[in-house]
Structure 1
Amino acid sequence: MWFMCNHSSFLSVTTLYSHQPDGKMVTFLAAYVLLNFAPLLVLSVPPIWTQPEQVHLSYAGIPGSMVVTWTTFNKTDSMVEYGLQGGRLFEMSAKGDATIFVDSGEEKRKMFIHRVTLTGLKPAATYVYHCGSDEGWSDIFSFTALNSSFSFSPRFALYGDLGNENPQSLARLQKETQLGMYDVILHIGDFAYDMHEDNARIGDEFMRQIQSIAAYVPYMTCPGNHEATYNFSNYRNRFSMPGQTESLWYSWNLGSAHIISFSTEVYFYLEYGMDLIFKQYNWLKDDLEEANKPENRAKRPWIITMGHRPMYCSDDDQDDCTKYDSWVRVGRTDIKPPAPGLEDLFYQYGVDLELWAHEHTYERLWPVYGDKVYNGSKEQPYVNPKAPVHIITGSAGCRERTDRFNPNPKEWSAFRSTDYGYSRMQVVNATHIYLEQVSDDQYGKVIDSTWVVKEKHGFSSWLTSF
C-alpha cells in the first residue's frame, strides 16, 4: 500500500537517480523506505516516563519529619533535594525507595510509587524542595515543617468525597492552601470517583489535581467505600500514612490533639477479611488507652477521630445510617463472632470530636451518645458537652452531586446544608476548638461556625457538672 500511495514520488526518485550505480540506488531506496516507515516504528516504542508527578506530602508521625510521595511510570532513583527558604537552594538531600504498583485492571498498568522521608526538620521552618532524580525533577514546592509544641494551634481543612469530575471546592482549596491558610488537610475518604477506573488513569489524574494542595501541606487520609475495588489497592499504594497498616488506620499528634484515622469499611467489605474488624478494634482500644494515660492526656487533651461513614446522619438517600443502626456505631450481630461497634469504645475513652464524610452534605450534630442528646447546657450546648460532637463534611464535590435531607431529622441534628463546600478546624488550645463550614456555592461564605469548649477531658468529663 505504501508503494501505491507514494507511486509518483517513487518514480521521480527512480528517474532522478537512474544514472547512479546500482549499489547506490539500492542504498537510497532502503533509506527512503525506512524514512517513510519511521512514524510507524516510533509508535511501537513505549514512551519514557521518568518525570515525577502526583507529588504529595504526609506527616510521618515523628516530630521533625515529612514524607514526600510521587509517581513515575519508569524506574528511577528516589531523591528529594531541599533547603530552608531564603537559604541556598537544594543544599540538603535525602534518598528513599520506590515500590512497584501494578493496577489490577485489564491493562495491568505499572507505576512506581516513590517515598522519601525527610528528618531533622526545624519546627515551623519553611523549606523549598523538589523531588525526582537526574532523569527528571518535579517543579519546586515549599512546605512548613510541623510545629512540635503542645501549644501549637494547627489549622485544618477537612472534607470527604472529592472527585475527579465536578470537584467544585477544589479551586478554592487550592488557592487557600497556597495562601498559607492551612497546616494540614484531612481527606475523610472517597477519592477521585474512582481511582481504579480506566485502568487507574482516573487515580493518576486525581492525584495530579490535588498536587497543588498536597505538595504544600501534609495530606492526611482515611479510606472510604469508593476505594474498595481490588481490596483498596489504589488507596493502600498511593498514600503514605504513619504506622505499618498501609494507611488503613493510624494515629498521630499535633498541638494539643491526638488524631486517629480509621477505616469504617472493615464493617462492610468482609470478603477482604472479617478479621480486620477485630484487628482494628483492638488497635483502637490500645491506642486510646495509651492516649488516655494521665501524662499523655495532660499534654494532648483533645482526642479527634476521622472515619468515612458516619454513626449518625439525616440524609434521605436510604443508605447506611438512614436505613438501620449504623454498623460502625453498634457493630454487627449478623456475623460470627459478633463484631463490636465503636460508639461505646469512643465514649468510654472520652473521644471529644468525631469527623465523618460519605453523605454528600454538611451536618453538625448536638453532642450525642446512644441516639440521645447530651448538651453541656441549653444555653451553651458545646461548652463542656456530655457526649462526643459529630461533624459530617462530605460535600466537597463529585460526580454523584449532593444528597437530599430527610425532612424530619432526629433531635440530635443541629445544622444542615446541601451546599457544596468544606470545613475548617483550628485546635486553638487545650480547652477550645473552632469549627466552621465554607459554602462554595456562596463564594466562600462561612455558613456555620461553632466553638467546642472543654475544661476537662476524658470519660469523667461526661459525668462532671461545672
Structure 2
Amino acid sequence: MEMGAFAAIVVFCGLMPLAFGVPPTWKQPEQVHLSYAGVPGSMVVTWTTFSEADSVVEYSIWAGKLFELTAKGQATLFMDGGSEKRKLFIHRVTLTDLKPAVSYVYHCGSDSGWSDIFYFTALKEGVGWSPRFALFGDLGNDNPQSLARLQKDTQIRMYDAILHIGDFAYDMEEDNARIGDQFMRQVESIAAYVPYMTCPGNHENAYNFSNYRNRFSMPGNTESLWYSWNIGPVHIISFSTEVYFFIKSGLDLLFKQYEWLQKDLEEANRPENRAQRPWIITMGHRPMYCSNADKDDCTQFNSHVRTGLNDTDPPAPGLEDLFYRYGVDLEVWAHEHSYERLWPVYNYTVFNGSRNEPYVNPKAPVHIITGSAGCRERIDPFVPDPRPWSAFRSVDYGYARMQVFNYSHLYLEQVSDDQYGKVIDSMWLVKDQHGPEAWL
C-alpha cells in the first residue's frame, strides 16, 4: 500500500492524533466530592478535569427515572505553583430545590466524559433532627489507616456530613500537585456520597494555600478559609488557625477572620438564633491546648491560637476569650496525631459541671483533638504526666463520631482503627442552657 493511501485510511478512521503523537484530551471527570452550599435544599458537586469541558450534573430521585434533572455550572482554571505549572479545571455545580431527606443519584461531567454514578441524601431542614458526623484531621495518601473504615461507615449511611479538620494528602502541592490529585481520588469513595466539609491546616500552606483554596467549595466567599453553616440544632464555624503562623505577607487575613468570627458569633447569639440552634461548634486545625511531647504551639503555655500575637504591630488577638465570651460549646481540633479529650477548660483552669458529672452543665467550652486518621508522619507521643485539664489520651490511629441528639444532648466517641473499630472513648455533653450565661 502506498503511504498516501495509508494516511487517508488513518484520517478516515479518526486515528490521526494517535498516529502522530498528539496528546489526548483530558475531559474525563475525576476527584468528585460534595459540599453543602449553606442554603437549605442545596448541594455543591465539585470535580476535576485536565482539559476544558462543560460542567453538568445529571441527577434524579433514587428509584425515579434516571437523570431526569440537569444542573449546569462552570469551571475555573487552577494553575499549580510548581515547576510544571500544571493546569487543572475545577468544576462546580450547585444543585438546588432538593427535597429534604430524599436520596438522589447523580453523575457529573459533559458529553466529552461522565463520572461513575454516585448517590447522596439531601440534608434535612429545620432544627428538630439529630445530625451525625465523622470528625478527623491529618489524613494522607501514605498510611491513610482509617480510610477503609470511614469508607464502610459512609456506605452504610452512618453520617450526614464529614468534618475534615485540616491537613490533606501530605502534601497536595507535591509532585506538581499530583499528590493532591491522588488524595482527591482516594477520598472520592467518601466525599462523593456525603458533604465533605473542611478547614485548612499547616500542610496546605504552599503557594498561599492555593491547592486548598481551589480544590474545595465551602459556603461563603472566602475561598473556604473560614465560613459557617447550620445543620439541625447546630451552628458550625470553620476557621483557619494558620493566619497566626503564616504572616510574612501581613496580618490582613488574621484581622479579617477575627472580625468575621466576632460578627458571626454575635449573629449566632441573637436570642432568636440561639434558641433555634443552641449548639455552637467550632473547627480549626491547631489546638489551643494539648499534652503532646513535640514542642508544637499547643504545648506552650501561651499558644498563638489561644492568646494571639503580642510581637506584631498591632498585637493580634487570640481566640480563647472570643469563643468563651460568646458561649461556644465545643471546639474540635486536629494537627496533633493523637486523640485527646479535655475537661471543660478556660485559661488553663478546669470548670467541670460537677465532680461526678463533669460534662453536665460545664462552665467552660469542651475541647476535642482528633488528628490521628493516618498520615506519613505517624503518631505524636504525649508527655508522661497528663495535664490537669487532660481527661483522656490515646495514640491509636482513628477518628471521632458525633451526634447532636437535641437541644441539650450531644454524644461524641473516638474509634480506634488499631483496635478494629473499637470505641475507646465516649462522652455525653449535656447542657440545660447555652450561651455565655451557661458559664455563670
TM-based fold match above 0.5: yes
**Deviation of the 1:272 alpha carbon:** 3.7
1:241 aligns with 2:218: yes
2: distance between equivalents of 1:430 and 1:164?
38
Instruction: Work out the number of aligned pairs and report it.
Output: 436
For 2:242, what is the secondary structure of its paired residue?
helix
**Deviation of the 1:274 alpha carbon:** 1.1
Alignment-derived partner of residue 12 in structure 2: none
Query: Alpha carbons of 1:378 and 1:195: their partners in 2 closer, same or farther (altered >3 Å)?
Result: same
Query: Alpha carbons of 1:40 and 1:246: their partners in 2 closer, same or farther (altered >3 Å)?
Result: closer
Query: Alpha carbons of 1:334 and 1:73: their partners in 2 closer, same or farther (altered >3 Å)?
Result: same
- Correspondences of 1:32-431 after superposition (within 5 Å): 42=19, 44-431=21-408
2: distance between equivalents of 1:41 and 1:298?
64
1:348 maps to a residue whose letter is R
For 1:271, what is the secondary structure of its paired residue?
coil
Give CA deviations for 1:20-55 in whole Å, capped at 9, x if unaligned.
xxxx87869999xxxxxx999758422211110000
For 2:331, what is the secondary structure of its paired residue?
strand
**Deviation of the 1:83 alpha carbon:** 0.6
Give CA deviations for 1:332-368 in whole Å, capped at 9, x if unaligned.
0011100000000000000000000000000000000
Give CA deviations for 1:131-181 in whole Å, capped at 9, x if unaligned.
000111110100000011201100000000000110000011011101101
RMSD over aligned Cα atoms? 1.8
Query: Alpha carbons of 1:289 and 1:140: their partners in 2 closer, same or farther (altered >3 Å)?
Result: same
For 2:248, what is the secondary structure of its paired residue?
helix
2: distance between equivalents of 1:132 and 1:40?
23
**Deviation of the 1:273 alpha carbon:** 3.2
2: distance between equivalents of 1:421 and 1:26?
63
2:138 maps to a residue whose letter is D
2: distance between equivalents of 1:110 and 1:380?
55
1: distance between equivalents of 2:16 and 2:212?
38
1: distance between equivalents of 2:231 and 2:68?
28
2: distance between equivalents of 1:25 and 1:312?
78
**Deviation of the 1:408 alpha carbon:** 1.8
Query: Alpha carbons of 1:336 and 1:155: their partners in 2 closer, same or farther (altered >3 Å)?
Result: same
1:277 maps to a residue whose letter is L
Query: Alpha carbons of 1:142 and 1:40: their partners in 2 closer, same or farther (altered >3 Å)?
Result: closer
Give CA deviations for 1:274-295 in whole Å, capped at 9, x if unaligned.
1111100000000000000000
1: distance between equivalents of 2:237 and 2:143?
29
Question: Which sits farther off after the overlay, 323-332 or 142-151?
Answer: 323-332
Give CA deviations for 1:89-108 in whole Å, capped at 9, x if unaligned.
11101000000000010000
Cα contact 2:60–2:104 (8 A) shared by 1: yes
Cα contact 1:368–1:388 (8 A) shared by 2: yes
**Deviation of the 1:323 alpha carbon:** 3.4
Cα contact 2:56–2:108 (8 A) shared by 1: yes
1:108 maps to a residue whose letter is K
Cα contact 1:71–1:112 (8 A) shared by 2: yes
Task: Give the TM-score of the pair, scaled to structure 2.
Answer: 0.96
For 1:112, what is the secondary structure of its paired residue?
strand
1: distance between equivalents of 2:3 and 2:36?
65
2: distance between equivalents of 1:106 and 1:43?
27
Which of these two proteins has the greater Rg computed from alpha carbons?
1
Bigger helix share: 1
For 2:71, what is the secondary structure of its paired residue?
strand
For 1:415, what is the secondary structure of its paired residue?
strand
2:192 maps to a residue whose letter is A
1:252 maps to a residue whose letter is W
Alignment-derived partner of residue 461 in structure 1: 438
1: distance between equivalents of 2:134 and 2:428?
16
2:154 maps to a residue whose letter is T
1: distance between equivalents of 2:395 and 2:24?
45
**Deviation of the 1:228 alpha carbon:** 0.1
Cα contact 1:231–1:272 (8 A) shared by 2: no
Give CA deviations for 1:290-317 in whole Å, capped at 9, x if unaligned.
0000000000000000000000000101
2: distance between equivalents of 1:211 and 1:25?
50
For 1:289, what is the secondary structure of its paired residue?
helix
Q: Once the two structures are aligned, what percentage of the paired residues are identical?
A: 74
